[in-house]
Amino acid sequence: MNIELSKIRSILFLLAIFLTNVCTMADMVIIPAVGGLFEAFDNVTLVNLIITGPALVGVLFCILGGRLADRYNKKMLLVFGFSLFTASSILGATVDNVWYVLILRIFSGGISWGFTSSAALAIVAEVYLDENKRSTIMGWYNAAMAAIGAVLSIIAGLLAVNSWQSAYNTYWIGIPILILVILFVPNLENVKKLATTDVNPSEKETNESGDTIDRNWVRDLTILLLAFFTTGIVYYIIYYKIALYVEATGIGNEAVIGTLSSLGTVGSCIIGLCFGLIYSKLKTATIIPTYIVFSITFMALYLSSDLLISAICCTILGAAWGNAYSYYYVRATIIAPPKFTATAIGAVSATSGVAIFLSTFVATYLQDLLGASSVVGILPALSIASLIGAVLAIVSSVRSRKEAARLQYQEQHS
């Protein structure tokens, strides 16, 4: 840790950071109100944009937010982003006009998310310099994200019974969280200098702002983002198509759909709490179990139409995804130089947003390609893709360990 915090202050700091996930999981308040939105407004296109449009906007602002967090005061960006979220979400249903609701949703679910999530994780990365400690805190952060999402959904669902506007009252929780952020998140001085490492001049380039960029880390980060993108596509297909899976297999109704979705969240939360220990033992091999679990569970879902097996698979899938989600964020902060940590974090968030948006289109394409009548028919393809991912991850991990050993040997004999 590069700053001194008392035990109480550390707890309050982490509490404030973890609770900013209310902004990240803001959509969980909207989902129970979707039916009311379609009843209130007859413009289907605009209502669909209210539901999913902020995710696309958020992709751009995650990248922008990451870059701003690298260049300017991280706490100020966090306070600005969460203030924007709090105001726009609380006021989001005060006018009965579809354009008003859409614009406020873009601010609360897209723009503010990009600023808030990038700044929050960048602060964590700057405060916790030790790789193992950082992985632990980021795992807890993602566990909190899953738990908060479940709580928001439950509260909003109860409120939405009265009206879709009532669900928006859930967002009032943002005010005490904002106060916690202002009081207990430390005001860190932005990292101004790149880590001093010996890099071959031929592997350096200077961008238009005068920053020196090591091509190796840019290449490595790009590969990491591509891996996260494909992993996200595979998982989000079943995550967002679980209702169609339940319908195709005939294993239940809407209550079963909600239960299976929540089980994935539970699995993700549990693995987030354990992620620090997992990462400290496996390092770059941490992602391998995710691919193996994906491959096995997708095939199990394909072969079985038993409700209990489906519930177990959804829980395990959620845990595997929680492992992957934490892993890619941690690795991005390690690969990128200190001056680009927040930019890397924003890139990971943006990659997740793009994967969410494209996952349903990829599912439709695979169904057409394979001649599958439902999402069940593409599960073997997802299983095979995951198995390929496991093989590539194993090869990459072995190479990474050999390279680390080689560098250590050179340092010891130089």
Between 2 and 76, where is the model more confident?
Answer: 76
Does 117 lie in the same domain as 72?
A: yes
d(CA 253, CA 263) in angstroms, rounded, equals 16
Does 164 lie in the same domain as 83?
A: yes
Among residues 180, 116, 137, the alpha carbon closest in space to that of 342 is found at: 116
Q: What is the pLDDT of residue 191?
A: 40
Q: What is the pLDDT of residue 15?
A: 96
Of 136, 171, 187, the one marking the end of a domain is: 187
Domain annotation covers residue 197: no
Does 281 lie in the same domain as 138?
A: no
Does 363 lie in the same domain as 324?
A: yes
Domain annotation covers residue 60: yes
**For residue 394, is pLDDT > 60?**
yes
Query: What is the 3-class SS of the chain, one letter each residue?
Result: CCCCCCHHHHHHHHHHHHHCHHHHCCHHHHHHHHHHHHHHCCCHHHHHHHHHHHHHHHHHHHHHHHHHHHHCCHHHHHHHHHHHHHHHHHCCCCCCCHHHHHHHHHHHHHHHHHHHHHHHHHHHHHHCCCHHHHHHHHHHHHHHHHHHHHHHHHHHHHHHCCCHHHHHHHHHHHHHHHHHHHHHCCCCCCCCCCCCCCCCHHHEEECCCCCEEEHHHHHHHHHHHHHHHHHHHHHHHHHHCHHHHHHHHCCCCHHHHHHHHHHHHHHHHHHHHHHHHHHHHHHHHHHHHHHHHHHHHHHHHHHCCCHHHHHHHHHHHHHHHHHHHHHHHHHHHHHCCHHHHHHHHHHHHHHHHHHHHHHHHHHHHHHHHHCCCCHHHHHHHHHHHHHHHHHHHHHHHHHHHHHHHHHHHHHHCC
CATH number, domain with residue 44: 1.20.1250.20
The predicted model gives 12-16 an average pLDDT of 96
Does 178 lie in the same domain as 119?
A: yes
The predicted model gives 227-232 an average pLDDT of 96
CA-CA distances (angstroms) from residue 224 to 70, 91, 218, 332? Answer: 20, 38, 10, 7
Percentage, residues of the chain above pLDDT 70: 91
Q: Which residues of 310-346 are buried (b: 16+ CB within 10 A; e: fewer)?
A: bbbbbbbbbbbbbbbbbbbbbbbbbbbbbbbbbbbbb
Q: What is the pLDDT of residue 204?
A: 47
Residue 330, both tokens = 């941690």
Does 162 lie in the same domain as 243?
A: no
Does 183 lie in the same domain as 240?
A: no
pLDDT band at 409 (very low <50, low <70, confident <90, very high): low
Which region among 30-44, 166-180, 225-239 has the lowest average model confidence (pLDDT)? Answer: 30-44
pLDDT digits (tens, 9 = 90+) for 256-270: 877 888 888 889 999
Domain annotation covers residue 247: yes
Determine the Cα angle at 64 with ends 142 and 174, to 5°: 50
Residue numbers of the domain that contains 11: 1-187
Domain annotation covers residue 205: no
Q: What is the pLDDT of residue 189?
A: 63
Q: What is the pLDDT of residue 414?
A: 65
d(CA 24, CA 141) in angstroms, rounded, equals 11
Does 227 lie in the same domain as 162?
A: no
The mean predicted confidence, pLDDT, of the chain is 87
pLDDT band at 2 (very low <50, low <70, confident <90, very high): low
User: What's the one-letter identity of residue 98?
Assistant: V
Angle at which helices 174-184 and 74-90 cross, to 10°? 170
Q: What is the pLDDT of residue 198?
A: 40
Residues 6+ apart with CB under 8 A from 212: 194, 204, 205, 206
Domain annotation covers residue 6: yes
Does 395 lie in the same domain as 299?
A: yes
pLDDT band at 213 (very low <50, low <70, confident <90, very high): very low
Residue 30, both tokens = 């909207």
Of 172, 187, 202, the one marking the end of a domain is: 187
Q: What is the pLDDT of residue 410?
A: 72
Of 187, 203, 226, the one marking the end of a domain is: 187
39 burial via Cβ count (<10 Å: 0-12, 13-18, 19+): exposed
The predicted model gives 240-269 an average pLDDT of 84
Q: What is the pLDDT of residue 359?
A: 87
d(CA 129, CA 123) in angstroms, rounded, equals 11
Count of domains in the chain?
A: 2
Domain annotation covers residue 179: yes
pLDDT digits (tens, 9 = 90+) for 50-69: 887 888 898 999 999 999 99
Highest-scoring range by mean pLDDT, 155-164, 195-204, 290-299: 290-299
Four-point Cα dihedral 170, 171, 172, 174, nearest 10? 130
pLDDT digits (tens, 9 = 90+) for 282-323: 989 999 999 999 999 999 999 998 999 999 999 999 999 999
Model pTM greater than 0.85? Answer: no
Does 375 lie in the same domain as 267?
A: yes
Domain annotation covers residue 204: no
Domain annotation covers residue 194: no
Please identify which residue in the block is written with the tokens 């870059």: 67
